Amino acid sequence: MPRKSTRLTFAVLATGAGVFSMLQSLIAPALPTVQHAMHTSQSTVTWVMTAYLLSASVFTPILGRVGDLIGKKRTLVAVLVTLTLGCLLAALAPSIGVLIIARVIQGIGGALFPLSFGIIRDEFAANRVSPSISNLSAVIAAGGGVGIVAAGPIVSALDYRWLFWLPVAVVAITALIAFRYVPESPSRAEGRVNWLGAILLSSWLVALLLPLSQATRWGWTAGRTLGLFAAAVVLFALWLTAEARSRHPLIDLRIMRLRAVWTTNAAGLLFGAGMYSIWSFLPGFAQTPRAAGYGFGASVTGAGLLMLPMLIAMFLSGVLSGRLEPVVGAKRLLTTGAALGAVACGFLAAWHDQQWQVAFAAGIFGLGIGLAFASMANLIVRSVPPEQTGAASGMNANIRTIGGSIGAAVTSVLVTSRLQPSGLPYASGYTHAFGLLAVLCLAAALAALLVPVHRAATARHAASGAAAAPAEAEAVASGARG
C-alpha cells in the first residue's frame, strides 16, 4: 500500500528516467559539432555514443539487482547523483577523452528504468500499478524522441555543452526530492550480489555490443570483430553456467525461463532492432541532400521536427495504453504496437519521396512504440516476484538495447554497402533497410502472440513458485548432502 504521495514519487521517477532516455538520443545529432569543437576524428567521436551504450548495458541489470537486494530508493538516489556528476563532467569536459569518460558515468543511469518499475510495484496501490507503469513507459519512450527534436535548437541557440548543462540542474533537484520524499521499498531479495555473475555478464555484453557498434568501421571480417564475437559466445556460456550453479544468482534463470518473460524478451529484442534503427537512420535520411535523388536536405533542427509526430504519438499511445490494458490486455497491446511498427516501416519502404510521408510513417511508428514499451514493462513486472522486479525489467531493457545494436549494425550495412560517386548512399539502401525493419517488427508481433494471456491467479502462482524455487533447491541440496 502507498505510504507517501504517489504523485510526487511518480514525478521523481518520470523525471529521472525521462532525462536519461533523452540523453540517449540528445547527443547523436550533435556529434559533428562535438567532433569539430574537440578537434578529433569521426571514429573517435562515435565513442561518445558507444561508451554510453556499453555502460548502460552493463549497469542496468546489475544495479537493478542491487536495488532488489539493498533497497530500491537507496540505489535510485545513488544513481541519480551519479548521473548528475556524469552530466556535470560532460559539460566541463576539456577533451574528447574526458567526455567519453563522462558518458560512461552517465550510462550508469540506465538502472533508473528497472528501479523505477520496482518502486511503482512496491509503493503504488494494486489498481494503479499498471497505469503508472504505462505512463512511465510513455515518458521513457518520449524522452528519446525529445532528444532528437531538441538537440538542433539547443546547439544552434546555445552550445553543445548545454546538452549536458540543462540536465545537471534537473537531475540534481530530482535526486534531492527522491532522497527526501520517495519511500524505501519494503520488498527485498535475499542473498548478496554475485560478483562473478556480474563480471561475466558485463564481459559478454561488452564483447557482443562493442563489435556490433564498431563493425562498420573495423570490418565485419576483421580479426578483432570476429574475436570479440567468439569471446561473447564463450563468456555467455560461462555466465549461464555460473548463474545456474550460484545460490544467489545475479539473474535468476528460472525467472527468465517463464513463458511470459522469455516471449516478451524475444519481442523486445526484435522490436528494439526496428525502433533504434528508425531513431538512428530516419534523421540522416531527411538530412540527405536532394541531389542524391532522395532526402530533403533538412538541417539538424528540420530533421528533428520531422520526427515530432513520432514523439507526440508515442507519448499519447503510451498513456492511453494504461487505460486500454485492463480492457484488451497487455499481450494485444504489444502485438498491436509491433504490428504498427511493421506497417510504418513498410510504408517508408514504399513511399518516402515527400516530407509528409516520412512524418506520417514516423507518427504510426510512434503509436507502436508507445503501446509496445508500456505493455512490455507491464508483462515483465506482472510475471515475476517483487524481489526480482529490478533484475528482470533491467534485462528486458538490456535485450531491447542488444536488439537495437543488431538492427542498427545491419541497417548500416544495407545503407552504406553501395555508395554514389558523391559518397552518399543510394536510395535503394534505405529502401532495403526499411523493408528489413518491417520484417523485424512483424517478427516481433508474431513473438508477442506467444505471450500467455494473463490471469491474476496464474501470475500469482508463477510468482510464488519462482520465489519458492530457491528454498526448494536448498532443501534438495541439503538432502543430497545428508
State pLDDT tens for residues 19-52.
Answer: 999 998 888 888 888 988 999 887 788 888 888 8
Which grid coordinates are listed for 420? 554514389
Residues 132 and 124: beta-carbon distance below 8 Å: yes
Determine the residue type at 421. Answer: P
Q: What percent of the chain has pLDDT over 70?
A: 93
pLDDT of residue 217 exceeding 90: no
The yes-or-no verdict on residue 414 having pLDDT over 70 is: yes
Q: What span, in angstroms and rounded, lies between the C-alpha atoms of 312 and 466?
A: 39
Task: Quickly list DSSP for 69-103.
Answer: HH-HHHHHHHHHHHHHHHHHHHHH--SHHHHHHHH
CA pair distance 463, 451, nearest whole angstrom: 16
**Which three cell numbers mark 320?**
492511453
Q: Say whether pLDDT at 399 is over 80.
A: yes
* Dihedral of the alpha carbons of 200, 110, 398, 195, in degrees to the nearest 10: 20
Range with the lowest mean pLDDT among 158-162, 227-231, 234-238, 341-345? 158-162
Euclidean distance between CA atoms 340 and 366, whole angstroms = 9
Give mean pLDDT, residues 111-133: 90
Between the CA atoms of 44, 50, 51 and 56, what dihedral angle is there, to the nearest 10 degrees?
A: 170
Q: What is the predicted pLDDT for the residue at 41?
A: 83
Q: What is the pLDDT of residue 472?
A: 34
Integer angstrom CA distances of residue 217 from 101, 221, 230, 406 = 21, 11, 19, 15
Between the ranges 11-20, 42-51, 135-144, 382-391, where is the mean pLDDT highest?
A: 11-20
Contacts of 9 by beta carbon, 8 Å cutoff, 6+ apart: 119, 123, 124, 181, 182, 183
pLDDT of residue 455: 52
Other beta carbons less than 10 A from residue 247's beta carbon: 11
**For residue 341, pLDDT beyond 90:** yes
Q: Is the pLDDT of residue 145 over 90?
A: no
Q: Give me the mean pLDDT over the 250-265 stretch.
A: 90
Cross-strand bridge partners of residue 425: 419
pLDDT at 481: 36
What letter does residue 329 receive in the DSSP assignment?
-
The pLDDT, as a whole number, for residue 92 is: 96
Per-residue pLDDT for 299 more than 70?
A: yes
Determine the Cα–Cα distance for residues 399 and 264; give it in Å rounded to an integer: 10
SS3 425: strand
Closest C-alpha to 65, from 210, 248, 241, 204: 248
Place of cell 508477442: 448
Contacting residues for 251 by C-beta, under 8 A, at least 6 apart: 61, 65, 197, 201, 243, 391, 392, 395
Return d(Cα 27, Cα 12) in angstroms, integer. 23
Q: At what angle do helices 126-157 and 355-383 cross, to 10 degrees?
A: 140
With bands split at pLDDT 50, 70 and 90, how would you rate the model's confidence at 389? confident
Total Cβ atoms within 10 A of residue 254 = 16
Residues 6+ apart with CB under 8 A from 473: none
Residue 2 has pLDDT above 60, yes or no: no
pLDDT at 454 > cutoff 80: no
When pLDDT is cut at 50, 70 and 90, the band that residue 191 belongs to is confident
Give me the phi and psi of 425, to 5 degrees please.
Answer: -65, 155
pTM of the model: 0.83
253-258 contacts, C-beta under 8 A, 24 or more apart: 254/466, 254/469, 255/384, 255/385, 255/388, 255/391, 255/392, 255/466, 256/392, 256/395, 258/383, 258/384, 258/462, 258/466
Average pLDDT, the chain: 87
pLDDT at 115 (0 to 100): 93
Task: Kindly tell me if the per-residue pLDDT of 190 is higher than 90.
Answer: no
Whole-number pLDDT of residue 4: 54
> Which CATH architecture best describes the domain 252-465?
Up-down Bundle (1.20)
Of 137-146, 214-223, 425-434, 468-477, where does the model show the most confidence? 425-434
d(CA 472, CA 271): 36
Q: Is the pLDDT of residue 1 over 50?
A: no
pLDDT at 396 over 80: yes
Say whether pLDDT at 229 is over 90: yes
Q: How far apart are CA 415 and CA 429, in angstroms?
A: 4
pLDDT(473) > 50 = no
CA distance 423 to 421: 5
Query: What would the CATH number be for the domain defined by 1-192?
Result: 1.20.1250.20
Is 478's pLDDT higher than 60?
A: no
Nearest to 154 by CA among 103, 146, 138, 297: 146
In the chain, % helix, strand, coil (3-state, to 5) comes to 85, 0, 15
Helical residues (DSSP H) of 219-258, grouped into ranges:
223-245, 253-256
**8 A C-beta contact, residue 189 and residue 64:** no
Helix, strand or coil for residue 430? helix
Residues 61-75, mean pLDDT to the nearest whole number: 89
Least confident of 100-114, 175-189, 463-477: 463-477
Q: State mean pLDDT over 208-230.
A: 89
